[in-house]
Amino acid sequence: MYFLELAEIFEKMEQTTSRLELTNHLVYILKKTTSVIIDKIVYLIQGKLGPDYQSKQLGVADKVVIKSLALASGYSVNEVQIKYNEIGDIGDVAYEILKSKLQTTLFYEKLTIERLYNTLLRISELTGSGSIELKLKYINSLLNNSTNLESKFILKLILGNLRLGIADFTVLDAIAIAFTGDKKNRKILERAYNVSSDLGKIARILFDGSIDEVKSIPISIFVPVRPMLAERASDAEEALKKMNGKMCYAEYKIDGERIQIHKHNNRIELYTRNLENVTNNFSDLVHEIEKINSKDLIAEGEIVSVDLITGRFLPFQSLMHRRRKYNIEDAIKDYPVLLNLFDILYYDNQDKTNLPFSTRRKILEEVLSFKHDKIKLINQKTVAKVEEIDKFMTKAIENGCEGLMIKNPNSTYRAGAREWAWIKLKKEYSNKLLDTIDLVIVGAIFGKGRRVGKYGALLLASYEPDEDTFYTICKVGTGFTDEILDEISKKLKNHIIENKNPRVISGEIKMDVWFEPKIVIETFSPEITLSPIYTTSIDKIKKGYGLALRFPKFTGKIREDKNAEDSTTIKEIENIYKKQLKSI
Ligand code: ATP
């Protein structure tokens, strides 16, 4: 299959503002695909070379791309740079300046998708001296064999700027329709996605095999599993009711970073909640994990910064020092951490996710049967009464925790699911205030007065998982220091788009700038109200009205560990709204 066909679809997708049309384009291209390239095509559609956890980054600098475009077009580097400054996207520059190129190319060999993918993969593997020249050579070989439309998308892929407005769940829908004939099967594919996080692999299995094979994709070491999540309860009474009044576990809820450990003999990898590999940032923990007496292991825990003198857990912000890219060794010395293990998913060559939580906890206790300096079991207690939970909550708060997690002892590990088997209970709930809400930034308006030249307010949205869309919920302009506003603006710069993203449902609202839904921030609001402006739960509670955060405030926390699709869902917002009505 030629890349030109895919580039033509990309072009159509870029111009679409309807999610349905986006899915239809994807279905069309998937149906035309041959078995050899099915996974590659899926990765390219996502603007990637493989699943996220493998982090195959192209790592090509703007400078190299500009130089190769100059070589391919006959323009000088300076001329290309000027055009780039003018247009702002190197792919669009290529489209413009390579318009008349084909007539002058002597050796034109139509570019296949396989060749494009393999060349990009080779580029991603180049490191060290001489790699820049080789990258240049490979990029040029691609540009010399492509039309201006293909060049546009090749360069967007190389710089990671392919913005088709789709996310994993839209691709899952398209795979379900193209290969099973029914969008409803997305639910089945979702389970496979939750244990493999690899859409290319799922598409390949479906293409060559059957949906039953997809159903039985096993969890495997070094393939991070999407984490099981928790529902929220207002107080101990509600949490106990959800456990049918029966005995359950209460655990410290620590405000750190969730980490999944994968171990096979001496190889150890650590993944964050959004499947980023952070092994290098926590080499101190890796040395400790090496001492764990087990050949194979997948376990989960919360990493937290600790004050070595008092032993108290420190707030989440201290942990962020450990996520820096440079001077990692210094950060390891200055910011000691503790890993609190709370679950085990794989052990002794066996998947343990289908065992009840009580059994998994016993296994975890055996695995950690001797004392480790930097690893411990999460503090847990068996509870069956409201008073017991309240007492344990007080102790947790005294020790610097956010609150408690209440867990059903009979529950299996449900990858990627947010259900009542796990319930979070935070100290804020007990004051009848709202919990913090994580929302994705989808637009902005420019500031006035002190904020001239900066963003004055950000348009935020909640997530609707069934449709894979985002609904607006408020504009937030308070809670930002100058530094953090600059940091957020810098992050947003890479995600500015010309028109609203098709997955964002925003009604009539006008913005100065629109963004790809990527950056998630934590907000706080004392109340949820009905609003004729925002679209979250539009028409569901009252015709013509949606739900909105009243007096929203940014808490200062950018949720680096969350993807847009991990934002608070519409269902959660509705639940909070309903609870709030009851408490009046
Ligand atoms: P929040 O913003 O409230 O932390 P979240 O949206 O990040 O919530 P939830 O599933 O709602 O994620 O809450 C569970 C999170 O709490 C886990 O992802 C994990 O990072 C953290 N956590 C802390 N202690 C525990 C524990 N004992 N068991 C499970 N998760 C824990």
Express each pLDDT in 86-98 by its tens digit.
888 899 999 999 8
The predicted model gives 303-325 an average pLDDT of 83
Does residue 510 form part of some domain?
A: yes
Looking up residue 106, the CATH number of its domain turns out to be 1.10.3260.10
Does 167 reside within a domain?
no
Q: Is the predicted pLDDT of residue 432 greater than 90, yes or no?
A: no
Note the pLDDT of residue 103.
Answer: 47
Is 403 near ligand 1, meaning CB less than 6 Å away?
no
153-178: average pLDDT: 91
Q: Which amino acid is at 547?
A: L
CATH code of the domain in which 347 resides: 3.30.470.30
Q: Tell me the range of 47-61, 279-293, 429-443 where mean pLDDT is highest.
A: 279-293
**Looking at residues 278-297, what average pLDDT do you find?**
91
Query: Can you tell me the mean pLDDT for 15-26?
Result: 89
Tens of pLDDT, residue by residue over 355-388, are 999 999 999 999 988 778 899 999 999 999 999 9
> pLDDT tens-digit profile of 384-405?
999 999 999 999 988 888 899 9
- CA quadruple 100, 17, 200, 64: dihedral sign: positive
Instruction: Give the pLDDT confidence score for residue 15 in this predicted structure.
Output: 87
Q: Does the pLDDT of residue 107 top 70, yes or no?
A: no
Domain residues for the domain of 110 are 48-159
Which pLDDT value is given to residue 370?
75
Would the pLDDT of 314 be above 90?
Answer: no
Task: Answer yes or no: do 418 and 451 share one domain.
Answer: no
Whether residues 384 and 446 fall in one domain: no
467 in the same domain as 395: no
pLDDT at position 87 is 87
Residues taking part in catalysis = 253
**SS3 readout for 172-195:** HHHHHHHHHCCHHHHHHHHHHHHH
Same domain as 286, residue 246:
yes
Residue 84 Cβ inside 6 Å of ligand 1? The answer reads no
Three-state DSSP state, 60: coil
| Least confidently predicted of 103-112, 494-503, 524-533, 541-550 | 103-112
Same domain? For 250 and 362 the reply is: yes
The pLDDT, as a whole number, for residue 378 is: 96
Residue 433 confidence class, pLDDT cut points 50, 70, 90: very low
How many other C-beta atoms lie within 10 A of the C-beta of residue 374?
16
Given this model, what pLDDT does residue 237 score?
94
Residue 273 sits in the same domain as residue 383? yes
The minimum-distance atom of ligand 1 relative to the CA of 418 is 10
Q: Tell whether 21 is covered by a domain.
A: no
Q: What's the confidence (pLDDT) of residue 43?
A: 95
Q: Taking residues 541-569, what's their average pLDDT?
A: 93
Nearest by Cα to 45 from 25, 61, 60: 25
For 248, 283, 364, 421, the CA distances from 344, given in Å and listed in that order, are 18, 21, 6, 16
Same domain for 477 and 510, yes or no, is yes
What are the beta bridge partners of residue 382? 249
Which of these three, 422, 453, 471, is where a domain ends? 422
Average pLDDT over residues 112-129: 92
| 378 touches ligand 1 (CB under 6 Å) | yes
C-alpha 530, offset from chain centre? 29
Return d(Cα 553, Cα 536) in angstroms, integer. Answer: 18
Is residue 208, in this structure, part of any structural domain at all?
A: no
Q: What is the pLDDT of residue 563?
A: 92
Q: Are residues 393 and 481 in the same domain?
A: no
Return the pLDDT at 106: 54
- For residue 302 and ligand 1, the question of a CB distance below 6 A is answered with yes
448/539 same-domain check: yes
| Ligand 1 pocket mutation, candidates 253, 522, 568, criterion most atoms within 8 A of CB | 253
- Structurally, the chain folds into a number of domains equal to 3
101 pLDDT more than 80: no
Which CA distances in Å does 473 have to 19, 282, 433, 470, 542? 20, 37, 18, 9, 15
Residue 179 within any structural domain of the chain? no
- Inside any domain, residue 104: yes
Is residue 478 situated within a structural domain? Answer: yes
Q: For residue 229, how far is its CA from the centre of ligand 1 (angstroms)? A: 7
pLDDT score of 330 = 85
Residue found under tokens 């699943």: 51
Integer Rg of the chain from CA: 25
102 has pLDDT over 90: no
Domain match, 446 and 415 both: no
Kindly state whether residues 274 and 403 are assigned to the same domain: yes
> Does the beta carbon of 6 lie inside 6 Å of ligand 1?
no
Domain boundary among 109, 126, 159: 159
User: Which atom number of ligand 1 is nearest to the Cα of residue 228?
Assistant: 10
Tell me the pLDDT of the chain averaged across its residues.
90
What is the per-residue pLDDT for 116?
A: 96
Residue that terminates a domain, selected from 127, 144, 159: 159
- With respect to residue 82, please indicate whether it lies within any of the assigned structural domains: yes
User: Relative to the CA of 253, which ligand 1 atom is closest?
Assistant: 24
CATH code for the domain of 505: 2.40.50.140
High-pLDDT (> 70) share of the chain, % = 97
214-262 per-position pLDDT tens digit:
998 999 999 999 999 999 898 999 999 999 999 999 999 998 999 999 9
- Does 467 share its domain with 334? no
The per-residue pLDDT for 428 is 64
Mean per-residue pLDDT for 254-278?
93
